[in-house]
Amino acid sequence: MKAAIIPSVHSIVYHGISAAPGAAAFTVELLARAPYSARDDAGQASFGIALERQRGVHAIGTDRREDFDTWVGTMSFTPPGLDVFSESATGGEYLAVRWDASRADAGQPATRPQRTAPPALLQQALALRGLLVQQAPPGQVEALVQALLAGLDAVHAAPARPQALAALRPLYARVLERIDDEIGHPDEDLSLAALSAQVQHTPLAFLRHFKQLTAMTPHAYVNERRLQRVRRALEDPRNALADAAALAGYASQSHMGTAVQRAFRLTPVGYQARAHAGSCAPG
């Protein structure tokens, strides 16, 4: 396999060519939280999964723009030939795999189905993010890319979100906003009991609904939001390690180090060095 990884503070782009006979080139993009206005290449197919909530406007197969609010765990497949425009003032971390149209299933309809990913598929995407950030050997990246693409069937097979569950989104959106507001304060109560009480649901019902909406448990979501925040803090060279830990709401610098090491097999110092070096990379 021939491959290259181009890291930067804003994104990581991986170009690869599978060693399998007749296989085409593919690109993996780990898009960081940043404003964007983009149109997909209609000559390619793509599979994407949101790793962070983002809001904006998009137009899918039409010039009509509509608001979107995509939560973590939302996966989508875009077949070749479908024109997709998307724009966001803030963006959000997003993992996309794109490949030549020749590799797409010819029978796929010209629609862009979106579903909440099975939790295992989201974990694969997070694991692939970790490999990209740590610049892992190409073979490891290739294996996880293939596993994600195998999840394409899940996009089409997964049932549409039940109307009753969709009706809970505004209520649970306030929970997500609370988490973002309080994540930087380790003394705030973001326990299952506290969050479920906010929506006046039993802890068991809250846990079930939250996982159906985000493909994560509330505890895992809080940890992921804290990790997202500390990464952005580490990418800013003005922040000392202690400042980064405090901004993300970690109880100590040691707790921050454990979280970063677990996700990326890098120490916070190593993550800083990788991010700052990548900011000068081409592309």
| Angstrom distance (rounded) from CA 17 to CA 236 | 33
Handedness of CA 247, 250, 251, 256 (dihedral sign): negative
Q: Return all residues near 272 (Cβ < 8 A) that are at least 6 apart.
A: 234, 235, 237
Instruction: Judge if 224 and 271 occupy the same domain.
Output: yes
- Domain end point (choices 157, 185, 220): 157
Position 283 in a domain: no
Instruction: Judge if 216 and 266 occupy the same domain.
Output: yes
Q: Which domain holds residue 87?
A: 2-157
Sheet holding 54-60: strands in order across?
A: 36-39, 84-88, 54-60, 66-70
Predicted confidence at residue 20, as pLDDT, reads 44
Weakly modelled stretches of the chain, pLDDT under 70: 1-10, 17-24, 101-110, 153-162, 278-283
Please classify residue 100 by burial: count the beta carbons closer than 10 Å to its beta carbon, then call 0-12 exposed, 13-18 middle and 19+ buried.
Answer: middle
Looking at beta carbons, which pairs linking 181-186 to residues 24 or more positions away fall under 8 Å? 182/249, 183/222, 183/225, 183/226, 183/229, 183/248, 183/249, 184/229, 184/246, 184/247, 184/248, 184/249, 185/249, 186/249, 186/250, 186/251
Instruction: Judge if 197 and 140 occupy the same domain.
Output: no
Predicted confidence at residue 1, as pLDDT, reads 33
Q: Does residue 135 sit in helix, strand or coil?
A: coil
Predicted confidence at residue 283, as pLDDT, reads 29
Instruction: Judge if 170 and 153 occupy the same domain.
Output: no
Instruction: Judge if 153 and 169 occupy the same domain.
Output: no
CATH number at residue 214: 1.10.10.60
Handedness of CA 28, 33, 34, 37 (dihedral sign): positive
Predicted confidence at residue 280, as pLDDT, reads 33
Position 78 in a domain: yes
- Domain end point (choices 97, 132, 157): 157
Closest residue by Cα to residue 235 from 177, 278, 265? 278
Position 172 in a domain: yes
- Domain end point (choices 103, 128, 157): 157
Instruction: Judge if 134 and 171 occupy the same domain.
Output: no
| Angstrom distance (rounded) from CA 281 to CA 87 | 25
